[in-house]
Amino acid sequence: MRAASSRGLGLRLVVAFSLIAMLCALVIGYYVSQARQQVGADYTALVTDVVRAQQDPAALRMTLDSLIDSQDRIHLEQIHALLWRIPRRIDGIRLQLRRSELAPASYGELVEELAHVESRLPALEAAVDVGAEQGLDERGSEAILALGMEVEEGLAWAYSELNELLHRASAEQRQLMERLALAVAVLLLLLLLAIAAVMRMLFQLHRQRETMRLQSRTDELTALGNRRWLREAAEQAFERRRRHGASLSLMLLDLDHFKRINDAFGHPVGDAVLVAFSRVLERQVRRVDRVARMGGEEFAILMPDSDLAGAEALAERILRATRAMSLPGPAAEHRLTVSIGVVEAGEERSFDRLYSRADELLYRAKAGGRDRAVTGQGQAVPRPAGGAARTAIDAN
């Protein structure tokens, strides 16, 4: 029962720990997934805007080169369209930077450069408007080219540096999140170890409690149940008898002149005799019977679902087996006998009443010459012929 109880608790603890471990694994997986998505979301929009904005200085440089080759009005219209788009790109990027997790000091110089570019856009737009209205001459073309190259170089440098800054910041944040994810995993692992330690402690406490409970109900020498254990079993048997009307019998056994064995051969031999007699009783009883050592050389057998006739038959077998058992060590040449009182529960409603009646019958068996069983009707189970053929240590 103890092993089954410990296995049941151990199985429940293993299942609980497995569920907790799976939950921790899911938490780690979800955290890592969300962390990676968050890292990507932090910079994706800003990087996309910067990449798109980098097309403006490239388009401006291409348009200026075309203007050098051919002073066509269409190039002025292209420049005019870029001048409309560039400040809006700058405003969008500036807003994204303020919303980002980047430190203002890391991009302050770049924002200043974009602000400088914005300050040059009106002059470039004015030169383009003049060229569109009055036509392009050499002086006008040079003015447009000079202002356009200044704007293009400022935008190209600022966007390139900003793109590098974003990639570096994204890599740093990803590395930080990976470290945080590792820290979370380590913390969860420590939590699992702590939970495992607590569960192990609970299991050990349960086993210790079961051991103490078993020890409090078990005779240390013979490993049979003790008086407390038999009383608990009797209460269950009486409850079953009240519900179902089942029969119930009790047998008390007392080894005859056991003190002489201790005096003649010593207590170690006496203890060995008690253990050997306990094994004899266990071999003779049914699986449902309860064998207990009540103290000293007195034993008891509680027999559920057994009437007086069945109890008498068991007593006869025990008498024969006791006479036939070999005593250990120096007592091997001697014979052991036992006196037995057997009673079937009648109107008794408690173990104490039933025990008291069985004890009276045991007293009769000892007073009647020992090596016999006296039943509930006061009848002694006859001693088999030739029972004294071996040397009897209890003979008077």
Residue among 209, 229, 210 nearest 219 (CA): 229
Sheet with strand 298-304: strands edge to edge: 290-295, 298-304, 248-255, 338-344, 373-374, 380-381
Q: Report the C-alpha gap between 124 and 113 in whole angstroms.
A: 16
Which of 323, 366, 315, 365 shows the shortest CA–CA distance to 344?
A: 315
Question: Which of 297, 312, 344, 348 is labelled catalytic?
Answer: 297
Residue 254 CA to residue 300 CA, distance in Å, equals: 9
- The answer to whether the CB of 81 falls within 8 A of the CB of 128 is no
Q: Is residue 297 annotated as a catalytic residue, yes or no? A: yes
Residues classed as catalytic: 297
